[in-house]
Amino acid sequence: MSGSDAPPRVARALREIEAHSRVAGLRIKDAAWPVEVQLDVDSGLPSRWRAAGASPNGVREIEPVTVFFYESFPSTAPAFFLRADFDRSHPHIQPATSGPPEPCLLNGSTSELMRSRGVTGLIDQLALWLERAALTQLIDPTQGWEPVRRDRFDDYVVADPNFLRRLVEPRSDCRVLTSRFLSVRDGGEANHVVVVDEGGAKIDEGLPRRWSDERNMSCLTFVAWSGKRASGEPFVADRYLPESIVDVRGLLERAAQLGCGEQLPSKLGLLESRLRGCRLPRPVPIAIVLIPRRPCDVIGQGSPLEICPYLVELKGRDDLGARSTKPVRISAHFDTVSTSLLRRAAGEAPTEDVVPWTIVGCGSVGSKLAVHIARTGRAPSLVVDRSPMRPHNLARHALLPVSHLESALMLSKATALCRAILALGQPAKDICLDVLPALARGNSAEIAPAGTRLIVNATGSLTVRETLCKSGLSRPRVIESCLMGAGRIAYMSVEGAGANPSSLDLVTEAYVLIGQDEEMRAVAFSAPPVEIDVGAGCSSLTFPMSDARLSALTAPMAEHLARLLAEKEPSSFGELLIGFNAEDGLGQRWARRRIAPFIEVGSEKVSVRVSATVHLRIEQEVASKPGKETGGVILGRWSDVTESFHVVDLLPAPPDSKFSQTEFVLGVEGLREALDDIHRRTGGALYALGTWHNHLVVSPPSGLDARTAALLALHQFFPALLLIHVPGGYRILVAGATYKSQEP
C-alpha cells in the first residue's frame, strides 16, 4: 500500500503508520483534503478472544478505523473514527449522537501527544484504546463502576462532592440549593459556571423579581437522587447508559431510569410556574444534579453515588415539563477547592486528616512555606506575625494584591495569609501580635494550643529562635526555616523529640558545617544586610534579592516540611538541611545531616549542652591517656537569653600541655592561631567557651579549677565554662564576671 497520492506530509505519516506493529492494513480512500485513510488495526485481543475473533462485547480482532487528516496536519492531529456499528454504549466512546463513533484516545490534546511521540504515539494510543475497550465492559464490580463518559461540555458546576453525597437520604427526594453563577460570552453562546452553595433555597414568589435584576448572579441547583424500590430496597441504577441527553424531556426520562425522578418534576414544575409571566433580561442558568446509586463504588470517587450535573438556560416563560424540548447541556462537575482535592493534585492520598501546626513569621519565606504547604492540603492552623504588609514586601511575598489600591493598604501579614488559606478551603486563625513577650514569660499557649504538632519559625529572627529555646517553655518541636548569605543559603533545622537537639543546638552545629565549606562560609558569614528605604523616614533591614531566587531555595524546604507533616512518628534525632544556591542561580546543592540528641549537663542556673560528637571525642581522648588527666578547649556558643552553653567542637590540647595523674595544664603553643582560625572561618559565630579536662575519679571541681575559671572569666564578656569529665558523666564550673560600679 502506498501513500504516494496523498500530500507529502500525510504520505510520510502513512509510511510510519503502516510500519506500526498493530497496523494490519492501510488504504487511502480519498487523497484530497481532508485525506481519508482506512486502517485495519489489530486490537490486541487476549488469547481466547482472539481465537474467537472478537471480545464478548464485540471488539473484533481486527478493527477498521477511519482516519481523517485535515489540511492543518501536522499542526493538528488526525481524527480517528470507528465503524458505524461499534457498540456506542461503551463507556469510553465520545458521547456524540450523530456521525461515526469516535474513540476518546486521550484525556488531553492529541495534537500535543503527536508532537511529543509522533504519529506512532497516536497509533499506540489507538491500539491501547481498542485493547481496553475489549476489556472494560467486563470489569468486575469490585474494580469499580465506570463513570458515565461525558467529554464535551461548555458549562461547569462547582460543588464539594462530599457535600452533595451527604444530602442523599434513603428516600428519593430533590433538594434545591442556593447557587451563584458566572456567564462568559465568547462570540455566540454563553458558557456558565454555577457554584453550588451549601444552603437550601426556596422557589418563592420573589424569585422572578430577583432574577429580573440585571446584576443578579444567584441561581438554583436541583439535586435529585436514587431512593427506594417499591419493595423497600434501595434503588440501584445498575445499567450503564451512554450520555445522550439533549432536552428536558430526555433529562426527566433519564432521572426516572436512574431512580432520581420522583420529586424532580414537581420542583421544576414549581419553578416553571413562578417564571410563567416573566421575561428575564439575561439568561439565568440552573444546575440539575442527578445522583444515581451504582452497584459498586464509582472509579476514583470512593462512593457508589455518581454525580451527573446538567444545565438549563432559563429566559422566562420556560417549559420545564415532561414533553419539553428545551435544550439541556451536559456540564462538567468540578470540585470546590478542598483538602482532599489539593492532596490528590499534589500526588498524595486524598485524606482529610488535619495536623495542627503554627507558622510564626509570615514574611517572604514564611508566606511561601505556608502557601506551598496549604496547596498540598496541609495548611498551618495558626499564622502569627506582628507586622503589616508593606508595599516593599510585595517584591517577594507569596500573596498578590488583587488591585493596586490593596497593595497600598497595610493589612496584617498574618491576616492576609490567613485569608489566602481560607480561600484554599482550609481553616486557619491569625494572630497579629508580637509573640515575644508572652514567650519570654514562659507562655506558649497562644501560639501552640494543645494538640499543635509543630511550630515553624520563619521569622528569620535570632531573638525568636533563642526565646523559643528558653527552658521551662512547654511547646511542640520547632522547625526553623530561613535564608542566609543574601539569599544564597537556605537553612532548615528540625528539632529532635523533646526539643533535643534544640534549634539553638542545631544552629551551632550548622555553623561548624558551614565553616568547613570554603565557598559557603565566605557567603554565609560576610553578607551584611542592606537598609531599604520604604517611605519618608522609614527603612527596613533586609537582603535585596529577587523573588525567583528566594523561591528557588524556599521550595525545597517546603517539600521537606510537607514530609515532616505527613510523618506519623517524629524522629528522635534532629536534622539540619543546608542549601547553597549557585551565584547565577542555576543550580543548588544541599547537605542533610542527622544530629543526635545533645547531652544535657548543667545546673539550675545554667544549662550546658554537649553535642554527641564532642562527647564521643572527649571519651576517646580520655581513653587514650589512661591514668592521666587530659583536656582541651571547648568551642560553641553561649546564649544569654536561655542561659545556656552549646558545645559543638573541640580544640585539642596544644603540644606544650602537661598531662599527669593529678593535673592537666593547658599549653599555649599555637592556641592563639587556632582560635583565630576558628574566628576567621566562622566570622565569630563559633568561639572558645572555656576548657575541658578530666578527673580520674568522680570528684567536684578543685580549687585550682575555680581559680582557672575565674581567670578565664575576666578575659571574656560572657561566663567561662569549665567542663570536667569524670567517670560516668560531667561536672561543670561556670564563672562570670559582671560590671561593678566604681564606688568613690
Partner 1 sequence: MVAKTTHFRVDNGDMSLIEVESGRRLLIDIDIRGAADDPEHETPDVASQLRARLKRDEAGRLYVDAFLLTHPDEDHCRGLQNHFHLGPLEDWVKADDKIVIREMWSSPIVFRRASKNHNLCDDAKAWNKEARRRVANVRANRFAADGDRILILGRDVDGKTDDLTAILVEVDTEFSKICGAHDSTFSARLLAPLPGSDEDEEDVLSKNDSSVVLNLSLKANYVEGARYLFGGDAGVAIWEKIWGRNKDRKHVLEYDVLLSPHHCSWRSLSWDSWSDLGDDAKVSADASDALGQARAGAKVLASSKPVVDDDDDPPCIRAKREYESILKPQKGQFYCIADGKGDDPYELEVTQGGVSLKKVAATAATVGSVFATTRVGAQPLPHG
Examine residue 677 and tell whether it contacts partner 1 (CB under 8 A): no
Stretch that binds partner 1, among 124-132, 169-177, 219-227, 252-260 (CB under 8 A): 124-132
- Cβ(361)–Cβ(387) below 8 Å: no
Backbone angles phi, psi at 289, to 5 degrees: -110, 115
In the complex, least distance from residue 458 CB atom to partner 1, rounded to whole angstroms: 28
In the complex, least distance from residue 349 CB atom to partner 1, rounded to whole angstroms: 16
In the complex, least distance from residue 87 CB atom to partner 1, rounded to whole angstroms: 15
- Cβ(350)–Cβ(343) below 8 Å: yes
Examine residue 49 and tell whether it contacts partner 1 (CB under 8 A): yes
Q: For the stretch 363-375, what's the b/e string if a residue is b when 16 or more beta carbons lie within 10 angstroms of its beta carbon?
A: bbbbbbbbbbbbb
Judged by DSSP in three states, 577 sits in: strand
Q: In angstroms, what CA-CA distances link 503 with 368, 419, 485, 535, 596?
A: 21, 30, 19, 35, 13
Write the secondary structure of 261-288 as one string of H (helix), E (strand) and C (coil).
CCCHHHHHHHHHHHCCCCCCCCCEEEEE
Nearer to partner 1, 145 or 491 (CB): 145
**Residue 231 CB partners (closer than 8 Å, separation 6+):** none
**Number of chain positions touching partner 1 (CB under 8 A):** 38
Examine residue 14 and tell whether it contacts partner 1 (CB under 8 A): no
Q: In angstroms, what CA-CA distances link 630 with 43, 502, 645?
A: 82, 29, 21
Judged by CB under 8 A, the residue of 32, 52, 423, 462 near partner 1 is 52
In the complex, least distance from residue 51 CB atom to partner 1, rounded to whole angstroms: 3
Alpha carbon 59 to its chain's center: 42
Examine residue 51 and tell whether it contacts partner 1 (CB under 8 A): yes
Q: How many CB atoms lie within 10 A of CB 15?
A: 15
Judged by CB under 8 A, the residue of 98, 99, 107, 323 near partner 1 is 107
Judged by CB under 8 A, the residue of 8, 85, 142, 205 near partner 1 is 142
Examine residue 249 and tell whether it contacts partner 1 (CB under 8 A): no
Examine residue 532 and tell whether it contacts partner 1 (CB under 8 A): no
**Residue 140 CB partners (closer than 8 Å, separation 6+):** none
In the complex, least distance from residue 527 CB atom to partner 1, rounded to whole angstroms: 34
Asked whether the bond before 556 is cis by omega within 30 degrees of 0, the reply is no
Judged by CB under 8 A, the residue of 12, 15, 88, 92 near partner 1 is 92
Taking residues 292 to 311 in sequence order and writing x for each that binds partner 1 by CB under 8 A, - otherwise, the string is: --------------------
Examine residue 125 and tell whether it contacts partner 1 (CB under 8 A): yes
Taking residues 28 to 47 in sequence order and writing x for each that binds partner 1 by CB under 8 A, - otherwise, the string is: ----------------xxxx
In the complex, least distance from residue 123 CB atom to partner 1, rounded to whole angstroms: 9
Stretch that binds partner 1, among 136-144, 164-172, 485-493, 601-609 (CB under 8 A): 136-144
Instruction: Copy the grid coordinates of residue 451.
Output: 494538640
Please tell me the distance from the alpha carbon of residue 629 to that of residue 278, in angstroms, as a whole number.
Answer: 102
Examine residue 88 and tell whether it contacts partner 1 (CB under 8 A): no
Examine residue 124 and tell whether it contacts partner 1 (CB under 8 A): yes
Examine residue 738 and tell whether it contacts partner 1 (CB under 8 A): no
Examine residue 235 and tell whether it contacts partner 1 (CB under 8 A): no
Task: Identify the residue whose cell numbers are 539569599.
Answer: 487
Stretch that binds partner 1, among 120-128, 287-295, 457-465, 660-668 (CB under 8 A): 120-128
Examine residue 135 and tell whether it contacts partner 1 (CB under 8 A): yes
In the complex, least distance from residue 76 CB atom to partner 1, rounded to whole angstroms: 17
Examine residue 95 and tell whether it contacts partner 1 (CB under 8 A): no
Burial of 303 (0-12, 13-18, 19+ CB in 10 A): middle
In the complex, least distance from residue 74 CB atom to partner 1, rounded to whole angstroms: 12
Examine residue 139 and tell whether it contacts partner 1 (CB under 8 A): yes
Examine residue 190 and tell whether it contacts partner 1 (CB under 8 A): no
Residue of 433, 387, 439, 377 lying closest to 413 (CA atoms): 387
Nearer to partner 1, 43 or 338 (CB): 43
Write the DSSP string, 7-56: -HHHHHHHHHHHTSTTEEEEEEEE-SSSEEEEEEEE----HHHHHHTB-T
Judged by CB under 8 A, the residue of 48, 404, 563, 605 near partner 1 is 48
- Give pairs for 677-681: CB < 8 Å, separation 24+: 678/515, 678/635, 678/649, 678/651, 681/515, 681/516, 681/521, 681/525
- Cβ(58)–Cβ(135) below 8 Å: no
Q: How many CB atoms lie within 10 A of CB 90?
A: 22
Nearer to partner 1, 22 or 175 (CB): 22
In the complex, least distance from residue 242 CB atom to partner 1, rounded to whole angstroms: 16
Nearer to partner 1, 121 or 208 (CB): 121
Judged by CB under 8 A, the residue of 9, 27, 83, 115 near partner 1 is 115
Nearer to partner 1, 51 or 697 (CB): 51
Examine residue 106 and tell whether it contacts partner 1 (CB under 8 A): yes
Instruction: Give, rounded to a whole angstrom, the gap between the first and last alpha carbons of the chain.
Output: 116
Burial of 706 (0-12, 13-18, 19+ CB in 10 A): middle
Examine residue 12 and tell whether it contacts partner 1 (CB under 8 A): no
Examine residue 548 and tell whether it contacts partner 1 (CB under 8 A): no
In the complex, least distance from residue 55 CB atom to partner 1, rounded to whole angstroms: 6
- Cβ(651)–Cβ(630) below 8 Å: no
Instruction: Copy the grid coordinates of residue 151.
Output: 467529554
Stretch that binds partner 1, among 129-137, 305-313, 500-508, 542-550 (CB under 8 A): 129-137
Please tell me the distance from the alpha carbon of residue 32 to that of residue 534, in angstroms, as a whole number.
Answer: 68
DSSP 79: E
Please tell me the distance from the alpha carbon of residue 260 to that of residue 264, in angstroms, as a whole number.
Answer: 7
Examine residue 134 and tell whether it contacts partner 1 (CB under 8 A): yes
Judged by CB under 8 A, the residue of 37, 105, 195, 685 near partner 1 is 105
Cite the beta strand spans of 583-678 per DSSP E. 588-595, 599-602, 607-610, 631-639, 644-652, 658-659, 664-665
Examine residue 533 and tell whether it contacts partner 1 (CB under 8 A): no
Examine residue 96 and tell whether it contacts partner 1 (CB under 8 A): no
β 155-158/329-334 pair status: parallel
Task: Identify the residue whose cell numbers are 440501584.
Answer: 236
Examine residue 117 and tell whether it contacts partner 1 (CB under 8 A): yes
In the complex, least distance from residue 91 CB atom to partner 1, rounded to whole angstroms: 10
Judged by CB under 8 A, the residue of 62, 96, 104, 473 near partner 1 is 104
Examine residue 121 and tell whether it contacts partner 1 (CB under 8 A): yes
Judged by CB under 8 A, the residue of 11, 12, 40, 50 near partner 1 is 50
In the complex, least distance from residue 120 CB atom to partner 1, rounded to whole angstroms: 7
In the complex, least distance from residue 61 CB atom to partner 1, rounded to whole angstroms: 10
In the complex, least distance from residue 142 CB atom to partner 1, rounded to whole angstroms: 6
Please tell me the distance from the alpha carbon of residue 119 to that of residue 19, in angstroms, as a whole number.
Answer: 11
Examine residue 132 and tell whether it contacts partner 1 (CB under 8 A): yes
Examine residue 116 and tell whether it contacts partner 1 (CB under 8 A): yes
Please tell me the distance from the alpha carbon of residue 90 to that of residue 58, in angstroms, as a whole number.
Answer: 10
Judged by the rule CB under 8 A, the positions of this chain that interact with partner 1 are 44-52, 55-56, 92, 104-108, 112-113, 115-118, 120-121, 124-125, 128-129, 131-132, 134-135, 138-140, 142-143
